[in-house]
Amino acid sequence: MYDVIIIGAGVIGCSVARELSKYERKILVVDKASDICEGTSKANSGIIHAGFDAKPGSLKAKFNIIGNQMMEELSKQLDFPFQRNGSLVLGFTKEDLIELEKLKSQGEINGVRELEIITGENVRELEPNLSKEVIGALYAKQGGIVCPFHFTIALAENAFLNGAEFMLNTEVLQISRVSATEEIPFDFYHIETNQGILRSRTVVNAAGVYADLFHNMVSEHKIKIVPRKGEYCLFDKCVGNYVHKTVFQLPSKMGKGVLVTPTVHGNLLVGPTAEDVLDKEDISTSEDGLKEVLKKASRSVTDLPIKQAITSFAGLRAHEESGDFIIGECEDAKGFFDVAGIESPGLTCAPAIGEYISNIMSQYLPANLKSSFQASRKGFISIAHASFEERKQYISENPAYANVICRCEMVTEGEIMDAIHRPLGATTLDGIKRRTRAGMGRCQSGFCSPKVMGILARELKVDPSAITKSGEGAYLITGFNKDDVV
Ligand SMILES: Cc1cc2nc3c(=O)[nH]c(=O)nc-3n(C[C@H](O)[C@H](O)[C@H](O)COP(=O)(O)OP(=O)(O)OC[C@H]3O[C@@H](n4cnc5c(N)ncnc54)[C@H](O)[C@@H]3O)c2cc1C
């Protein structure tokens, strides 16, 4: 019997797990995927929004402001990349300037600090590659960028370090509430999974685009989450400083529009589209989607370096019909806590949402603070970013840090071995890619994937043919039969 089962090891589930792990509780995080951060948390813009877009009074506005302000301290504690690079919303017409003023006022009502309207000339002084058509912009110094993978993995690793358990490859199929009996004198939840039955006094529903499914299993007040797809184009690091700030256009009712932004790892990211789709697994990209992204982005910047595009990807926003997040205990299912409809700015809000759920959970299921809680965690070693002296030190400790496996991102065998043997370590090519960046570069793993597969197989002591790209079914070598592997 667990005290808390969290469904979903995305940024929300992992943030909740970390906050709850500050207390003496038996916590389990379950995810159907083979790794943490396999859902929407892996495919987004990576922006820490300043907080001017959200409707005043909404949960999005409230948690955005708090989450944004928590990010600096959290990134230091948990050692993940975060930069407060600032953002611009561009105006091209006089009507746009009126809208920018409205956005600024809305931001101020929400509590965003340091918002400023600047002229077209000021915009191009800050960002020389922006279009000559820009006549003004809303400049938000509090905007930032983060690595969504490292952020989510850091939260998960720290929760794990503090006692939270994780069960991956575990798909929740059915949930029901069971009333107290003489034998078990409290109500609990019976959770059917593909790995057997689990039981818990409380459930946190952080299942992303599937959160409506679980909410509707326990509550009469039905909710509906529509997956809203966003397609992106990622550019090579050689044009990573084409812009320095995150450059938005004016938002519409479908979202924040197409942006152009540097990433914390030095790439240039352009996107996303916004299209409601029927399939909750549809993360395909399309020619039309990418054309739309490039066309819209070309309005913001001059001569978008299209030839430097290295890959495309898509993510699904968990858009709930009410338009706001659904966060809190279900009225008609005590002990069931929803964190549903977490579309943008969910990444930004995650630390604040985790804290909030932990606070309301303390009222339902009081627990003592854990004296052994460790707030910090050491991030991944990066030889590419280490100084000459540090490299020498690492290599003297382990010569595998001198063996470069991914030439594009300069990732060594030692780093890949670390990623496998860390808590909640990588078991797939994608897992290695997100932790170390091996395969994230110009060649998109064309050269390093066989070598990474070999290291994974050696370290995990399995046959190379058992190594997958991203879990069950995603085999890289054809003709593989699971039963053949010793
Ligand atoms: C295109 C796009 C751009 C975005 N840009 C930004 C941005 O720049 N800044 C920002 O703040 N936010 C942004 N967001 C929003 C942000 O990415 C999300 O709010 C956040 O990642 C949601 O996290 P989550 O943990 O709720 O969901 P997820 O990361 O999807 O996690 C849910 C998890 O639940 C698991 N799961 C589902 N069903 C089951 C089941 N039956 N059994 C077990 N496990 C299950 C899934 O495998 C998944 O891992 C963007 C979103 C999109 C799509």
Identify whether residues 241 and 128 lie together within a single domain.
yes
Residue 92 and residue 300: Cα distance in Å, rounded? Answer: 9
Q: Residue 354: CB within 6 Å of ligand 1?
A: no
Residue 456 and residue 470: Cα distance in Å, rounded? Answer: 13
φ, ψ (nearest 5 deg) of residue 240:
-65, -25
Nearest CA to ligand 1 atom 19: 346
Nearest CA to ligand 1 atom 41: 172
Identify whether residues 286 and 395 lie together within a single domain.
no
Measured in angstroms, how far is the CA atom of residue 481 from the centroid of ligand 1? 32
Nearest CA to ligand 1 atom 27: 208
Identify whether residues 392 and 286 lie together within a single domain.
no
Q: Residue 345: CB within 6 Å of ligand 1?
A: yes
Q: How far is CA 450 from the centre of its chain?
A: 27
Whether 319 is a known active-site residue: answer no
Pick from 235, 310, 317, 241: nearest CA to 273:
317
pLDDT < 50 regions, the chain:
486
What is the pTM (predicted TM-score) of this model?
Answer: 0.97
Residue 57 lies in a domain: no
Residue 337 lies in a domain: no
Identify whether residues 299 and 409 lie together within a single domain.
no
Q: Residue 172: CB within 6 Å of ligand 1?
A: yes
Q: Residue 9: CB within 6 Å of ligand 1?
A: yes
Range of the domain at 115: 82-143+226-315
Question: SS3 sequence, the chain?
Answer: CEEEEEECCCHHHHHHHHHHCCECCCEEEECCCCCCCCCHHHCCCCEECCCCCCCCCCHHHHHHHHHHHHHHHHHHHHCCCEECCCEEEEECCHHHHHHHHHHHHHHHHHCCCCEEEEEHHHHHHHCCCECCCCCEEEEECCCEEECHHHHHHHHHHHHHHCCCEEECCCCEEEEEEECCCCCCCCCEEEEEECCEEEEEEEEEECCHHHHHHHHHHHCCCCCCEEEEEEEEEEECHHHCCCCCCEEECCCECCECCCEEEECCCCCEEEECCCEECCCCCCCCCCHHHHHHHHHHHHHHECCCCHHHEEEEEEEEEEEECCCCCEEEEECCEEEEEEEECCCCCHHHHHHHHHHHHHHHHHHHCCCCECCCCCCCCCCCCCHHHCCHHHHHHHHHHCHHHHCEEECCCCEEHHHHHHHHHCCCCCCCHHHHHHHHCCCCCCCCCCCCHHHHHHHHHHHHCCCHHHCECCCCCCECCCCCCHHHCC
Please identify which of the residues 49, 150, 215, 265 carries the catalytic annotation: 49
Ligand 1 atom index nearest CA of 345: 11
**Burial bucket for residue 73 (CB in 10 Å: 0-12, 13-18, 19+):** exposed
Measured in angstroms, how far is the CA atom of residue 39 from the centroid of ligand 1? 5
Identify whether residues 309 and 388 lie together within a single domain.
no
Nearest CA to ligand 1 atom 15: 344
Measured in angstroms, how far is the CA atom of residue 347 from the centroid of ligand 1? 8
Identify whether residues 394 and 296 lie together within a single domain.
no
Identify whether residues 309 and 420 lie together within a single domain.
no
Residue 378 lies in a domain: no
Domain C-terminal end among 315, 332, 347: 315
Q: Residue 342: CB within 6 Å of ligand 1?
A: yes
Rg of the chain over all Cα atoms, to the nearest angstrom: 23
Identify whether residues 310 and 407 lie together within a single domain.
no
Q: Which residue has the tokens 């600090």?
A: 113
- Position 366, amino acid: P
Measured in angstroms, how far is the CA atom of residue 40 from the centroid of ligand 1? 3
Residue to mutate (ligand 1; options 14, 15, 34, 41; most atoms within 8 A of CB): 41
What are the start-end ranges of the H helices in 170-286? 211-218
Tally of domains in the chain: 2
Residue 213 lies in a domain: no
pLDDT confidence of residue 482: 62
Identify whether residues 117 and 261 lie together within a single domain.
yes
Domain C-terminal end among 269, 296, 315: 315
Ligand 1 atom index nearest CA of 343: 19
Measured in angstroms, how far is the CA atom of residue 355 from the centroid of ligand 1? 18
Identify whether residues 304 and 449 lie together within a single domain.
no
Q: Residue 348: CB within 6 Å of ligand 1?
A: yes
Q: Residue 207: CB within 6 Å of ligand 1?
A: yes
Ligand 1 atom index nearest CA of 206: 26
Residue 276, Cβ neighbours under 10 Å: how many? 11
Ligand 1 atom index nearest CA of 39: 30
Residue 449 and residue 429: Cα distance in Å, rounded? Answer: 7
Q: Residue 30: CB within 6 Å of ligand 1?
A: yes
Identify whether residues 311 and 443 lie together within a single domain.
no
Measured in angstroms, how far is the CA atom of residue 90 from the centroid of ligand 1? 27
CATH of the domain at 131: 3.30.9.10
Grouping H, G, I as helix, E, B as strand and the rest as coil, residue 430 is helix
Residue 235 lies in a domain: yes
pLDDT confidence of residue 252: 81
CATH of the domain at 402: 1.10.10
Identify whether residues 387 and 311 lie together within a single domain.
no
Residue 448 lies in a domain: yes
Domain C-terminal end among 315, 344, 375: 315
Q: Residue 313: CB within 6 Å of ligand 1?
A: no
Residue 258 lies in a domain: yes
Per-residue pLDDT tens digits for 267-323: 999 999 999 999 999 999 999 999 999 999 999 999 999 999 999 999 999 999 999
Q: Residue 317: CB within 6 Å of ligand 1?
A: yes
Residue 338 lies in a domain: no
